[in-house]
Amino acid sequence: MSVSKSQFIRLVFVMLAMVFVSSIARAQTDKIEGLWYNDIKSAKIQITRYTDGKFYGKVVWLKEPLKNGKPKVDELNTDPKLRSRPRLGLLVLAGFVKDSDEKYTDGTIYDPNNGKTYDCHITYKGKTLAIRGYVGISLFGRTTTWSRVE
């Protein structure tokens, strides 16, 4: 089976187009997007940019997904109506706006270990994220370090 010159050229153009589109798609992914371990490696959080342009993170893996043989739920939530929702799939980061090359601000972080939501900002540091949750002003808060899942 022989390939004509025009078929060969067409094939080369299609391959180049695929490489170009693939590189554009990769370039549009922000550096905080991806899979991250929380500070104690008990959960993996998938950070994604939503259609509103803001960044959100949800729990996609739990080291211990069960409690008393049943899937863990958000039992400490301050809203009784939300206490039966599963911890797996739970949105824990919400509404982050890219402020600079390394900073993401105006977001919130939900802590399922105490049922509270805090104002939050994220600082990207290569293979880690400095996650600072606080009440009111950043001075009164706590920073934890998340690491990228390799």
Q: How confident is the model at residue 2 (pLDDT cuts 50, 70, 90)?
A: low
Residues 78-133 have pLDDT tens digits of: 999 999 999 999 999 999 999 999 999 999 999 999 999 999 999 999 999 999 99
Beta partners for residue 98, in sequence order: 104
Q: What is the CATH number of domain 31-148?
A: 2.40.128.520
Q: How confident is the model at residue 26 (pLDDT cuts 50, 70, 90)?
A: very low
pLDDT, mean of residues 45-59: 98
Residue among 3, 46, 36, 35 at smallest CA distance from 144: 36
- What is the predicted pLDDT for the residue at 28? 67
Residues 8-18 have pLDDT tens digits of: 566 555 554 45
pLDDT, mean of residues 31-52: 97
C-alpha 76/C-alpha 115 separation (Å) is: 5
